[in-house]
Structures are given as C-alpha cells and as structure tokens.
Amino acid sequence: MITMKELGNLAGVSQSTISIVLNHKAKQYGISEETQKRIHALAHQHGFRPNMMARSMRVGRTGIVGLLVHEGAMRQSFDQQGNENSYMRLQAAFLLAGYKIMLEVVTDEDIRTLTIPKFVSDGLADFLILMENFVDSTRSTNYIAALHRFLPRLMLYDDCCDLPDIPTLSRDNAEAAIIAADHLWERGYRSFGILCDASFRLAHSLRAKAFQTRIAELSGGASPVELVTAGDRWTLNCGGLAVTELLERMQGKLPDALFCTNDYFAYGAEQELLQRGYSIPKDTALIGVGEWGMSEQAQIPITTVSQDVKERIEAAVKRWKDIQAGVALSEKIPPLPSRLQVRAST
C-alpha cells in the first residue's frame, strides 16, 4: 500500500501537505482547491488508507469509541434473550454523532488472564464503554482496573463497581429498590422475597440491601424479607432456580410479593411459578428492575422499575463530548432517574 511520503512525491508536495489535506485542514492552511483535488484523486487512485495507529500516536486521538461486551451478554443476544437492541442503539448514536465504533467481546478467560483487547493496547480507541452486565466479581474489577491503566478515558454503562475512579452511567440502584418496595407496600403486600443470581453482583446487592432496609422502615421491622441467590445469571432459568430454592426453604409457601433484582430473573421466576400452578399476582406479586423487552411480553406482563434507554444513550454520547470539551475524567456522572412501570404482575 502506498505511503503518505510516496503520495507526496506523486503529487509534488510535502508529506505534511498530504497530512493536512487528508485530515481536512486544507482551508486552515490556505492550500488551494486544485492541490486538494489532485491529492484526493491520487489517494483514491492508489488506495491510500491512513495508518490509524500512527495517527493516534501523532495527534493523540483516533475518533474511535470502543464498546466491550461480556461474552455471556453477547450469547444472550444471539439466543434472543438479551438486550441486543441496547447495543445497536448505542452504536447508532455514536455513529450519528460522527464517531467510529469498534465492538469487542470479552471472555471469562480474558478477564482471568487480564488480556487487554488489541485495539485498546494498540491505542486505537479514544474512549471505552464497558457495557451492562460487565461486573460480577473481584476478578472483573481487577480487569477493569487493568483496562483503565491502558485507557483512562473509559466508562461503565448501566453497571457499577467499587473502584472510586471509574465513572459510571447508571441508575441509582438504591433508589430503584426503594421505588419497588414502596409500590409493593402501597398495594398491601406485607411479606417479601428477594431473588438474585448466585454471583450477587454489586449492583444487585445494593438493590437487595436497599429493598430490605426500606421494608424494615415501612413495617417497623415486622415484615419478613427472605433473600435467595441461585443460578447462573446468563441462563433464562436463573430466576426459576431461585424460586425453587425459596419454595424449598419456605416449605412450599410463598411470600406476598417477590422483588427480583432484574427483569431477567423476574421472567424466569414467573415461568417457574406458572409451571408449578401458582397464580400471579394472586399467590404472589412479582416486580423487577430494568427494561428487558421480554418482561413486558411475558404471559403475565411484569411490573418493573425501568429507565429511559434513549436518555441513557444520549447521556453516554454527551459524556464523551464533555470529556473532549475539557470536563475532568474524574467528574462523577449524576445517576439517571428510575421510573415505575406498573403491569399485571403486581
């Protein structure tokens, strides 16, 4: 492939002139339209492509936004069980804003071995977004810290971790749980279960703790709250396994209402309950957190504490624009508001 220096020789100009024209700064440097046309024509004729890595080292930016998705979340999307629409809409928003996008899947082995994606280690990304469901353990937190050393300009999207210098664009997990608790209490439910997967990630433990605390406040400590963590968070029967364990623990009895720490678990819980012959919400009410599309399409549409996805996507694009405009990387992102979506399950 032809180099910028060789292109300059063909055009009869310096290499710096070639760089100025191809980086769309010709007007700023007073380069004639005739010279611009000649350079663009030769670049097209000889198939010139800029070396993005060299450009990154030279000017300190590439215009590329990297999205990292956990393999489990991508597999859910492939099986039509995940939030693939969220990834596509986020990519679309950045592309429409004039940024290039690189999408990479991160495996559990990458996380275990602290293997950094090549486009990150090569310096090709200006900004890195770690998509939802990225954090589940100390190991993944260590991985995020390793990514941060390579690229300080990164952000957790709809997730959180306990690293104080990692910006997070997400809901207030405690607020979401309080909204759920208040709704169930107002509906007259007085005994409760909390369902989560076995990994009991930070975001979910924050929701569970806030729910327990709020119910204790509302009931004066009189209302029982049974917490169950069971199942693999990537499998659709995760909520069902948690329900099974709850029933065994309570000898077949159900609390008045179940708070599931996300919609995915709520959907699995509902399927298991209906298969066992229970009625929702007569035998037990069901509420989740999130905006997973299947929760609204469930046999008994599931009440949820949701977030406006478009609002969150716009906030992600704004975050990158703010950083480019000089906003400090360490500046915290205000949590996005949660909204109660009442459906038949409560």
Q: For the segment 325-338, what is each residue's pLDDT rounded down to a tens digit? A: 888 877 788 899 99
- Residue 105 pLDDT more than 80? yes
- Residue 21 pLDDT more than 90? no
Locus of tokens 């007007």: 27
Architecture of domain 4-50: Orthogonal Bundle (1.10)
Residue 45 identity (one-letter amino acid) = Q
- Among residues 261, 258, 257, the alpha carbon closest in space to that of 289 is found at 261
Contact criterion met (CB below 8 Å) for 267 and 239: yes
Instruction: Say yes or no: do domains 4-50 and 173-306 share a fold.
Output: no
Between the alpha carbon of residue 321 and those of residues 89, 98, 127, 316, 327, the distances in Å are 18, 11, 10, 9, 9
Instruction: Kindly report whether the peptide bond that precedes residue 164 is cis, defined as omega within 30 degrees of 0.
Output: no
The whole-number average pLDDT for the span 221-236 is 94
Locus of tokens 């949701």: 306
The whole-number average pLDDT for the span 318-326 is 88
The pLDDT confidence band at residue 303, using thresholds 50, 70 and 90, is: very high
For the chain, what percent of residues have pLDDT higher than 70? 95
Which is it for the CA torsion 331, 201, 233, 240, positive or negative?
Answer: negative
State phi, psi for 193 to the nearest 5 degrees. Answer: -125, 150
Domain boundaries, the chain: 4-50, 64-169, 173-306
Please tell me the predicted confidence (pLDDT) of residue 84: 59
Task: Please state, rounded to an integer, the average pLDDT across all residues of the chain.
Answer: 89
The whole-number average pLDDT for the span 115-135 is 88
The pLDDT confidence band at residue 301, using thresholds 50, 70 and 90, is: very high
Contact criterion met (CB below 8 Å) for 81 and 294: yes
Residue 149 identity (one-letter amino acid) = R
- Residue 185 pLDDT more than 60? yes
The whole-number average pLDDT for the span 237-262 is 96
- Among residues 273, 263, 256, the alpha carbon closest in space to that of 297 is found at 263
Give the domain 173-306 fold.
Rossmann fold (3.40.50)
Lowest mean pLDDT across 70-84, 140-154, 172-186: 70-84
C-beta atoms surrounding 76 within 10 Å: 21
- Tokens representing residue 206 in the block: 């924050």
- Residue 193 pLDDT more than 60? yes
b (16+ CB within 10 A) / e for 313-338: bebbbebbeebeeeeeeeeebebbeb
* Residue 215: its H or E element: helix 202-219
- Residue 244 pLDDT more than 70? yes
Cα gap 57→61, rounded to integer Å:
8
Strand ranges across the sheet with 257-260: 225-229, 192-196, 257-260, 285-289, 303-306, 339-341
Please tell me the predicted confidence (pLDDT) of residue 283: 97
- Among residues 224, 191, 189, 225, the alpha carbon closest in space to that of 207 is found at 225
| HSE toward the beta carbon, residue 34, CA cutoff 13 A | 1
Where is pLDDT greater, at 88 or 196? 196
Please tell me the predicted confidence (pLDDT) of residue 53: 47
Contact criterion met (CB below 8 Å) for 181 and 259: yes
| The CATH homologous superfamily of the domain defined by 64-169 | Response regulator (3.40.50.2300)
Please tell me the predicted confidence (pLDDT) of residue 63: 81
Lowest mean pLDDT across 88-92, 128-132, 256-260, 322-326: 322-326
The whole-number average pLDDT for the span 108-134 is 89
- Residue 24 pLDDT more than 90? no
**Highest-pLDDT range among 93-97, 119-123, 217-221:** 217-221
The 10s digit of each residue's pLDDT in 25-82 is: 788 778 998 998 899 888 888 887 665 545 544 445 678 999 999 998 888 877 767 6
Which is it for the CA torsion 194, 195, 200, 202, positive or negative?
Answer: negative
The whole-number average pLDDT for the span 187-201 is 96
C-beta atoms surrounding 104 within 10 Å: 16
For the chain, what percent of residues have pLDDT higher than 90? 61
